[in-house]
């Protein structure tokens, strides 16, 4: 994406536009949890009990109905669910002292294509897990006090890191349980979905530099767990799902590069993978869908503004067809500005056109549409001029109270 410069940003107000209503709530506030065996996106129904092993452990099928998958996951993939999109996650509750995951990784082993996960144990701070095609078994927890525990495995990166198609995929083959039994996963009632590009992916956000032109993409410094969407969901105590891919736009990819656009990607469980199964929107019905698209369309010269508005409007209408009760939020920022490309007024034009698409939907009778503009970022920056984790946190602090007010949370 193109670099960003400082200029004034804004959040427009109700009913189409809205100002800040309240400070962000603490994590999990006013949210109830639903405990169920098949509450994740995969909805496995078959009872697959753990199989005893000679060393006293238990082998757990990746398709056990007690394993909770969330985010975009190809649940029907032969051999086990495939995690491609950023933010895809797996949750396991168990009684025992330890847990390992069996994982097939598709990374290429370079600084751009090595895959990383966050492992969270019993709600504690995440631990970084690096995976490799050379290994299948990874420790998630060990040496625990006998009793009930919960582990989450969260995919930090995207499906095609560094532009290498498929390098970000992983397939869950199963689990090794050091314990006596699995327990149903507890799911928050609230559900948010974030749709977008590299911003939503958390591209390069673990770097903070004044020289972003010389700091290019690495998968280790890209952390979807610290992207504004995941942080917003955590502030609101909500489930989180992301459908995001670097370089993609609503009507045009970055610099006119080839590849499917965001609306087409929305139908996939794993992007740019002809073997992946289609995504069924009923697998995850959100309370709100936040679409942050347009940065790639406008960040280099060549956008057809009328085509952008048309395709954005059609995409919002399609989302409304999937989710009749959901709030649809058209967001933009924080990478665009009016200083680059020179003379293009990219920030002003993109804002006007995002608002035009939202207004078109409202004119069609859709009253559950809002617009949010994230103020253009200021130094320091992440890799390749992307927002830092600190900027993502500010975006979440802006968005969370708005969603709280609009959704009545």
The phi, psi pair for 140, rounded to 5°, reads -100, -35
The verdict on residue 8 lying in a domain is no
DSSP tag of 24: P
Do 112 and 227 fall into the same domain? no
Q: In terms of residue numbers, what domain contains 165?
A: 34-187
The phi, psi pair for 49, rounded to 5°, reads -65, 150
DSSP code per residue over 309-367: HHHHHHHHHHHHHH-TT-EEEEEE-SS--SSSSTT--HHHHHHHHHHHHHHHHHHTT--
Phi-psi region of 204 (alpha: psi -120 to 50; beta: other; left: phi over 0): left
The reported pLDDT for the residue numbered 288 is: 99
Do 96 and 203 fall into the same domain? no
Per-position b or e across 156-170, b if 16+ CB within 10 A of its CB: bbbbbbbeeebbbbb
Do 219 and 165 fall into the same domain? no
**Cis peptide preceding 341, ω within 30 of 0:** yes
Do 39 and 142 fall into the same domain? yes
The verdict on residue 20 lying in a domain is no
User: Given the DSSP bridges, would you call strands 147-155 and 185-188 parallel, antiparallel or unpaired?
Assistant: unpaired
Domain closes at, from 155, 187, 219 = 187
User: Given the DSSP bridges, would you call strands 58-61 and 170-183 parallel, antiparallel or unpaired?
Assistant: antiparallel
Kindly give, in sequence order, each residue whose CB lies less than 8 Å from that of residue 355, ignoring residues fewer than 6 positions away: 12, 16, 330, 371
Q: What is the CA radius of gyration of the chain?
A: 21
Helix (H) or strand (E) run with residue 33 in it: strand 33-36
The reported pLDDT for the residue numbered 48 is: 86
DSSP tag of 141: E
The verdict on residue 29 lying in a domain is no
Do 136 and 203 fall into the same domain? no
The verdict on residue 14 lying in a domain is no
Helix (H, G, I), strand (E, B) or coil at 69: strand
Total H helices, total E strands in the chain = 7, 18
Domain closes at, from 133, 158, 187 = 187
Distances (CA, A) of 66 to 36, 90, 186, 238, 281: 8, 11, 11, 20, 22
Do 269 and 231 fall into the same domain? yes
Q: For residue 395, which of 316, 349, 335 has the smallest C-alpha distance? A: 335
The verdict on residue 179 lying in a domain is yes
* Tally of structural domains, the chain: 2
> How many angstroms separate the most distant Cα atoms in the chain?
70
How far apart are alpha carbons 397 and 125 in whole angstroms? 20
DSSP tag of 381: B
Do 171 and 232 fall into the same domain? no
Sign, Cα dihedral of 239, 226, 336, 85: negative
DSSP tag of 122: T
Give pTM, 2 decimals.
0.92
Question: What is the mean pLDDT, run by run of 10 residues, along the chain of 409 residues?
Answer: 32 35 32 56 89 96 96 97 98 98 97 98 98 98 97 97 94 97 95 98 98 96 98 98 98 96 98 96 98 98 98 98 98 97 97 98 98 98 98 98 98
Domain closes at, from 134, 161, 187 = 187
Do 232 and 126 fall into the same domain? no
How far apart are alpha carbons 131 and 195 in whole angstroms? 26
The verdict on residue 304 lying in a domain is yes
The reported pLDDT for the residue numbered 13 is: 35
Q: What is the CATH number of the domain that holds 225?
A: 3.40.50.1110
The verdict on residue 120 lying in a domain is yes
How far apart are alpha carbons 159 and 154 in whole angstroms? 13
Do 151 and 219 fall into the same domain? no
Q: State the first-to-last Cα distance of the chain, in angstroms, to the nearest integer.
A: 35
User: In 10 A of CB 127, how many CB atoms?
Assistant: 12
The verdict on residue 281 lying in a domain is yes
Do 120 and 237 fall into the same domain? no
Q: Are 151 and 75 in contact (CB under 8 A)?
A: no
Do 151 and 235 fall into the same domain? no
Q: What is the CATH number of the domain that holds 118?
A: 2.60.120.260
Do 323 and 229 fall into the same domain? yes
């Amino acid at each position: 994406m193109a670099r960003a410069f400082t200029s004034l940003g804004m959040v427009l107000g109700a009913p189409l536009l809205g100002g800040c209503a309240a400070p962000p709530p603490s994590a999990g506030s006013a949210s109830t949890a639903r405990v169920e065996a098949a509450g994740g996106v995969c909805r496995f129904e078959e009872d697959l009990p753990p199989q005893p092993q000679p060393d006293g452990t238990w082998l757990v099928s990746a398709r056990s109905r007690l394993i909770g998958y969330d985010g975009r996951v190809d649940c029907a993939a032969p051999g086990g669910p495939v995690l491609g999109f950023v933010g895809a996650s797996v949750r396991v509750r168990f009684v025992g002292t330890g847990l390992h995951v069996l994982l097939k990784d598709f990374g290429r082993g370079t600084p751009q294509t090595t895959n990383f996960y966050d492992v969270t144990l019993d709600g504690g701070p995440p631990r970084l897990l690096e995976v490799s095609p050379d290994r299948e078994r990874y420790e998630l927890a060990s040496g625990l006090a006998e009793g009930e525990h919960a582990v989450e495995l969260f995919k930090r990166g995207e499906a095609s890191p560094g532009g290498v198609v498929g390098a970000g995929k992983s397939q869950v083959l199963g689990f090794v349980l050091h314990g006596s039994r699995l327990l149903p996963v507890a799911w928050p009632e609230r559900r948010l979905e974030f749709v977008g590009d590299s911003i939503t992916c958390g591209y390069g956000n673990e770097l903070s530099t004044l020289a972003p032109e010389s700091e290019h993409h690495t998968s280790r410094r890209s952390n979807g767990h610290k992207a504004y969407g995941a942080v917003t969901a955590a502030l609101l105590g909500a489930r989180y799902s992301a459908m995001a891919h670097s370089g993609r736009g609503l009507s045009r990819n970055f610099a006119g590069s080839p590849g499917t656009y965001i609306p087409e990607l929305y139908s996939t469980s794993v992007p740019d993978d002809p073997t992946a199964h289609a995504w069924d929107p009923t697998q995850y019905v959100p309370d709100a869908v936040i679409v942050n698209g347009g940065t790639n369309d406008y960040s280099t010269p060549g956008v057809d503004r009328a085509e952008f508005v048309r395709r954005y409007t059609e995409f919002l209408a399609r989302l409304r067809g999937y989710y009749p009760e959901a709030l649809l939020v058209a967001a933009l920022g924080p990478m665009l500005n009016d200083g680059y490309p020179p003379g293009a007024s990219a920030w002003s034009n993109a804002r006007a056109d995002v608002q035009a698409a939202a207004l078109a939907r409202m004119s069609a009778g859709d009253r559950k549409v809002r617009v949010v503009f994230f103020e253009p970022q200021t130094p320091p920056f992440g890799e390749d001029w992307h927002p830092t984790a600190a900027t993502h946190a500010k975006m979440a602090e802006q968005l969370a109270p708005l969603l709280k007010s609009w959704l009545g949370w």
